[in-house]
Chains A and B, each alone.
Chain A
Amino acid sequence: MTNQPYLSCALRKSERGTIMPATKVKGLAETSREKLKAAIEEVERFLNNHALPELVQEDNEESRAFYSGMLSDLRHLLVFSEVAYEKLGAVLRRPNFDTDLAERILYEVYHHASTPFSILKMNVTPKTGATRTQARTPSASG
């Protein structure tokens, strides 16, 4: 047995399985799936009804780069959200709920859908004062 407190704590937790109870993970999987569905519908509606030429109102390179990047981010967000939605549906339909798999998917939702959305919002909402082209400059050069 280790004399490191955090490892002994981990032993107790691993004996029980995961820290988060399976019922809570299942509940999170269900609510996350519903929320993803709502977001998917909104993004799909926007992408189906708006194209780059109509969004670019000032005919300049900055405006074109801004909306081109925004549409690209929305498409990526839509794909990630749809994949996560399908994965959560599959794990919830299993006769025996797989908590580890559900947690891996929820981890992906946090990092692949929720966090990129925050970046998208930061680029689109004007209150930040930073434009997308300014925000993208370092990665564009790299």
Chain B
Amino acid sequence: MKPVRAARDVVLAISRVYEELRDDLAYYESDYLTQRRMQSQVK
């Protein structure tokens, strides 16, 4: 099913923003949690 134009437009409009956020915050996908776990192990 092809979405109506307005639906596609809003998703494309916010795509750039959320994809930039995803790239900027890639560290928080797994590295951050790994670091937190390692810190808690040594405490």
Residues of chain A touching chain B, judged by Cβ–Cβ distance below 8 Å, are 6-7, 9-11, 13-14, 18-20, 28, 31-32, 35-36, 38-39, 42-43, 45-46, 50, 55, 57-58, 62-63, 66-67, 70, 74, 103, 106-107, 109-111, 113-115, 117-118, 120-121, 124-126, 131
Contacts and interface: CB of A to CB of B under 8 A. Distances in A.
Interface of B: 1-4, 6-8, 10-15, 17-18, 20-22, 24-29, 31-33, 35, 38-39, 41-43
Main secondary structure of the interface of A (DSSP, over half): helix
B4 to A, nearest CB: 6
A126 B25 contact: no
Nearest to B11: A124
